[in-house]
Structure 1
Amino acid sequence: MTDPALYSNEIAAPKVAIIGGGLTGLLTATLLERASNQTSTPSNPPQITIFEKSRSVGRLATRYRSDNKTGKNWQWSFGAQFFTAKTDDFRQFIAPWLDSGLLHPWCAEVVELTPAGDSGQSPNIRSKKQWDAVHARYISTPKMTSWGRELAAALQHTTIVFKTRVAPLAQYLHHQNPQHSQHKTQNQIHNQNNKQTELFDETGASLGWFDWVICTAPNGQAVELMADSNFAKQAKIVKPNMQACYTLMLGWNDVQKLPETLKGQLVPQWDVAYVNSAILDRIFIEHQKPAHDELLPSVTIHARNDWSEAHVDENMESVKEQLLQSAKQALNWGEGSTPIQTDCHRWRYAATIVDRDTEELGILIDETNQWIVSGDWCAKGNIESCYRMAQHTVEAIFKQ
């Protein structure tokens, strides 16, 4: 947990820009507000702006479609399917949402699945384990997007600007704005050394002046944003290896229309399958998750990261056909059990490939410019890493 003792009551709340409205950005804003509440007066709240290039917040992506006849939905968590909480700090942080029921532990039945071969044999499915509450995997309900939206809604001193791409900082190097300095408090002048950065959008319009700029984009995008800007840690941004991921989404209109591999009658009942395949990685049965029983039958399939990376620039329809063929071998559907809903999504920066022997990168700080590059990819690439990097960012800002 961030220690309030780290912060001096003499430090005025800074004006902060966060580039990226994913979980790292939302958690950074949340912890900044909490820290500022302990160090600032009510008349001097923090001023935080999140710039998000898409229409929504959070990495916990959900896609759904409604059936015209029944009014029910198919629903797919096509981003992160779940997250873990291994540290006391993070467990304490998520506790209120567990108490409210927005977050649920997911005690899934897990199997290992070997797809059918070309000779026509059935897929081989073997029970592997059950995820338990001791080593819990958590999901957000009713959708995986719900937690991110709840985090965003709870922010009191943060403005979220959607559909806004921040231009690379190289064109607008850190410089002083004399007009803005006249309105700084003495504490701001002393503690921030009169440093500010003006950000611009891709059209050249000013987005404002900020004491701190925090980039939480994936490292491939962070490289572009910070390129040629004299960012002190530029070379380190490219060190983590991030790979793509394709997600295939399948839907049926009735449980009875499911292939036998999903019904749990002729094979072990399961919720998650680890797939022995050169293309597919895992299969998730959405409508069997906690608080998801009102859904129409929905299945999400993640492709392997190495396969996805090798095909990242291919035509989407071609990739979708390859994934459907592999999924058909894995789930063994026939003419009467073919999914009636199919969709495909590509995440260009999905997974951080972690080498156990390599030390975590951690957040990258340029103290001269007061820029920070952060993200889950700076650690283990999971959602708990978003929280840890947000903690470190807040500590870095309030230690100045």
Structure 2
Amino acid sequence: MSRFRRTAAAAVLAVATAALTTAVGLSGPATAAPPTAAVALGDSFISGEGAGAYAPVVDVNGVAQGFPGWTAPNNNAFFCHRSANASLHRASLPGIQDRFNLACSGGQPHDIAAASSARANGRQVAAQLAQLRAVGQSHDIDLVLIGLGSNNSSFTFGSVAEKCANRFIADAWTGWWEFWAYLNGPVPQQPCSDADLATAAQISAATAETTAAVRQILTTLREIDADGQHRVVFQDYTNPLPFDLDPKFHTEDGRDDTRDKFRDLGAERYAGGCPIHRASLLPGHRFSQGLGSIVKSGRDTLAAEFPGADLVYLNVQRAFDGARLCESATSPTGTLATPIRLQDSPPNGTVVTSLSGKDKIAIQKIANTCATYFQTCQESWHPNAAGHQVLGQCLAGAATTAARDVTCTRTPTGTITIS
């Protein structure tokens, strides 16, 4: 029986018990049941990165941090980017009274049991387990959404995305005759390969690291959830880019991305939100599938270790089909992911929507702004508010199904199916 059905049954039983007590004249201490809660833990795809409407975040010192400005240190707690539009808040979850988004953009397995501030580039927030325990003191936790694995000690989603986008931009604006002229050596311009994104050894290490962190979550839930009834949903990742670009983005001015210097095409793809070599797309999808294997393997391992635990794997890799960046000629309009968007220096919140007419010096300046003030570009290639609405539908399906392996798919007509 699902937790939501049990909640309804318990309510009926409570009413009957109260009536019986009144009828026979019995009395006793009345203990109100704590409110039920759904909790989100993990990284940017769970916190709501890209969806806007970011709430203040309490830092490791207990101070709520609102937006600190575009030039503030990126480790500020606010840049966890916990969104009111995150999938946890968009999902229909009958029986759930309160929702707590404890995820943090850039979150790693390390951040589950230790303060994120204790590692390099980590944000100034407490360990997610410490935050989970605080929720457990006042609430009955019935649902936990976990998104973990895209960032770890071996690789991070942000570094992978930055690598492939930068290679495309360098290739588009820098000629081969300039390629060898840089004082710091040649600038990589070739498409990303599978090995550039994550090796098999890195995926294996990330799997072990992620599984160990989630094991700590499950152990903590056993300790703090008094009734022991909670469903844990392990969500994987969806790629913001398609398997191939719409033909509109294949060539411009007679040049494709296999030519030397193709600035018009580079500007066109940037405007569409997909500054990427076509040859990088399939390795990118295999990388996404690798992330899925991390999540699925972790769930399977822990299901064997925690017999009887209610653990559900939610596959969302096809949840954005037909609405990925540059999958149609109108991109980024109508897509479910945020385009890559940068700011000029000094950053002031105004994004650069067009690179047309800019030379490579201007391009480098814009790229450096992202490197120096990562908050100016960290929303890039994440689910937008509409994307999180879809992921909310996926979560709603995973929260109530009797299945333990759930796939959420978007049909060509935009219908979301749960199977």
- Give the TM-score normalised by the residue count of structure 1: 0.27
Higher strand fraction: Structure 1 or Structure 2?
Answer: 1
Higher helix fraction: Structure 1 or Structure 2?
Answer: 2
